[in-house]
Amino acid sequence: MSRPRLSNKAARRLFLARHLLAEPPQGPASGAALLDVIHSLGFVQLDSINTVARAHDLILFARRPRYRPAALKRLYEKDRALFEHWTHDAAIIPMEFYPQWQLRRERDAAKLFRRWKDWQRHDFEAKLHSVLEQIRTEGPVTSSDVGRDEPRSSRGWWEWHPSKTALEYLWRSGALAVVGREGFRKRYDLTERVVPAPLHEPALAPDQTQTIDWYCDQALARLGFATPGELAAFWAHITPAEARGWCLAEHAAGRLEEIDIEGADGGLRPAFARPDWATDPAQHCEPPNRLRVLSPFDPALRDRKRAARLFGFDYRIEVFVPAAQRKFGYYVFPLLQGDRLVGRIDMKAFRDADELHVTALWPEGGVRWGKLRHQALEAELQRLLPLAGVSQVSFADGWLRAAV
């Protein structure tokens, strides 16, 4: 018996709507309105690279162009409406989700203790106690405030000094919370001084079954349709086997339907969706034709395989690729227009020269880069200037390259 089928165009539109990219990029971008955006996305990934703007800032700007970084800092550090922890990477997350991270904190506590307790050949448990006592007495600290008598290295995370390791363990396992950043260095405090009660009480957190149900249900709500592997990867807290068990139980209960999703190449891939998928109005709504620059870490693109299937967009960030081996560039931004990814652009803000410099742009195959599309690009780059901290745009000779 054949499965119901969701066309590629409808799948792209439904997926973009879930990520707030099918609506016009407008509206308020601070306070409760900004928190609503983050809540809808589930989380926003943090990243330190600032070629044009940091990833979290560009993610929010792409949906609300009135956004400025100070609004996020206020929500996070002053209003305590967000907390920082891990999904697939470091992220800021609505504070109301904090209890759902208890399973992740417990799993991290067990995994990291085994990994780190003998790593630097010191009394790890004693270091945990001394760091906690220092914070209890002195208040919030950064890694430079602890272990001042310990040897330091700047060669990477694997060269953490023992007290920095203790800070990270205490944060990942729940005793500490991050209360903000100085530059991009985390500042830690006791969780009970940061997270409202009863959100931080382990005894009041959901159990494992309830947590897995929440992870899968909330991931599916933000993906529209998904395989068990995609559900597990969304929050990166559970295994594909746990997500598959949830899908099979929900399917048996009639709360999930298995459908075929058409890819950009016409191929079909089975996925699970809620039974009302066929009447979802998002699949019939055409996204605005405005061109948008997306962060390489945008939630709509984080799953590179899904982006390739739905949009035919084969993307790899090349920051860790040696320069001579890069196909495009160090930090190349995808370009979204309507329900298509139409190209990728290599650009950087040179703040000492007060300009946003475009080195190269590669249209996607089948995309014509004519006058109207170029005007749309120039308009978007002008909108980006305040976020990038510069006032003008420049283009390198030969910037428009052959289609990918």
| Domains of the chain: total | 2
Contacts (Cβ under 8 Å, ≥6 apart) of 196: 80, 95
Does 106 map to a domain?
yes
pLDDT by residue, tens only, the chain of 404 residues: 689 999 999 999 999 999 999 999 999 999 999 999 999 999 999 999 999 999 999 999 999 999 999 999 999 999 999 999 999 999 999 999 999 999 999 999 999 888 877 766 667 788 899 999 999 999 999 998 997 777 655 545 455 788 888 999 999 999 999 999 988 899 999 999 999 999 999 888 999 999 999 999 999 999 999 999 999 999 999 999 999 999 999 999 999 999 999 999 999 999 999 999 999 999 999 999 999 999 999 999 999 999 999 999 999 999 999 999 999 999 999 999 999 999 999 999 999 999 999 999 999 999 999 999 999 999 999 999 999 999 999 999 999 999 99
Does 43 map to a domain?
no
Domain limits at 184? 97-193
Q: Pick from 54, 90, 50, 89: which is nearest to 69 by CA?
A: 54
Of 166, 193, 220, the last residue of a domain is 193
Tell the residue number behind the tokens 């630097």, with chain if given. 120
Q: Residue 323 sits in a domain of what CATH number?
A: 3.40.630
Does 366 map to a domain?
yes
d(CA 307, CA 115): 34
Does 355 map to a domain?
yes
Contacts (Cβ under 8 Å, ≥6 apart) of 81: 35, 75, 94, 95
What one-character DSSP code corresponds to residue 1? -
Of 160, 193, 226, the last residue of a domain is 193
Of 193, 228, 246, the last residue of a domain is 193
Does 276 map to a domain?
no
The two structure tokens encoding residue 104? 């992740």
Q: What is the CA radius of gyration of the chain?
A: 23
